[in-house]
Amino acid sequence: MTDSRSFRQLMGCFATGITVVTARNKENEPVGITINSLTSVSLDPPLVLFCLDRKAQLYPIFRQASHFAVNILSEDHQDFSQYFAYAHHPKPKNMWDKAQDGLPLLKGTLGWMICKMHKIHKAGDHDIFVGEVIKLHKRAGQKNPLLYFHSRYRKIED
Ligand SMILES: Cc1cc2nc3c(=O)[nH]c(=O)nc-3n(C[C@H](O)[C@H](O)[C@H](O)COP(=O)(O)O)c2cc1C
């Protein structure tokens, strides 16, 4: 038997990076959600996936979006992860960078990718959103990523 507590505890041992996946709502305002389920799926074509809870407030927006952007957070931006973990958290306007293909991007990330929605699969209480990467940028420099492990933010110590 797998109870959800042991499942969460075990998955908490699987350290990940953190991203904010963004799109635009009907009013054309930038929206985003903190996501650590990002996975690279395929090289040709370049596909990535993320899993989104169907109960998330932004779920209907992503369900209808033709494109989304993935912002990979650096260790300096734990605040971004916290802002985007709550749909209604007030968000400072100055954290937004210049948009790409109309999609909102965050300042000071390790890099970003613009994805065209490829497929959406139902999986339990989440949906798997698969996107084709149509544009990307890795920022120059050697910033470290923000990590998530055992339900806590971590930094690389080396
Ligand atoms: C580090 C971190 C990673 C997260 N990763 C995911 C994820 O991959 N998929 C998901 O549906 N929610 C994820 N969440 C939760 C959402 O960001 C958000 O908190 C949740 O959808 C509830 O927000 P809402 O009730 O305001 O919609 C993550 C939260 C944190 C803090």
Is the CB of residue 109 less than 8 Å from the CB of residue 27?
no
Q: Record the tokens describing residue 94, joined without a space.
A: 């100055």
Is the CB of residue 145 less than 8 Å from the CB of residue 153?
no
pLDDT at 157: 87
H helix intervals, the chain: 4-11, 59-64, 78-83
pLDDT at 29: 94
pLDDT at 51: 98
Which domains, from first to last, does the chain contain?
A: 4-150 (2.30.110.10)
Is 53 a pocket residue for ligand 1 (Cβ < 6 Å)? yes
Is 37 a pocket residue for ligand 1 (Cβ < 6 Å)? yes
Buried-state track 127-137, b at ≥16 Cβ within 10 A, e below 16? bbbbbbbeeee
pLDDT at 2: 83
- β-bridge pairing 67-72 and 111-123: antiparallel
d(CA 109, CA 125): 30
Tell me which residues of the chain have a pLDDT lower than 50: none
pLDDT at 1: 67
DSSP string, 83-120: HTTSTTS---GGGB---BTTB--BTT-SEEEEEEEEEE
Is 75 a pocket residue for ligand 1 (Cβ < 6 Å)? no
Atom of ligand 1 nearest to the CA of 89: 26
Does residue 101 come out as left (phi exceeding 0), alpha (psi in the -120 to 50 range) or beta?
left
Atom of ligand 1 nearest to the CA of 88: 26
Is 34 a pocket residue for ligand 1 (Cβ < 6 Å)? yes
Classify residue 62 as exposed, middle or buried by CB count within 10 Å of its CB (0-12, 13-18, 19+). Answer: buried
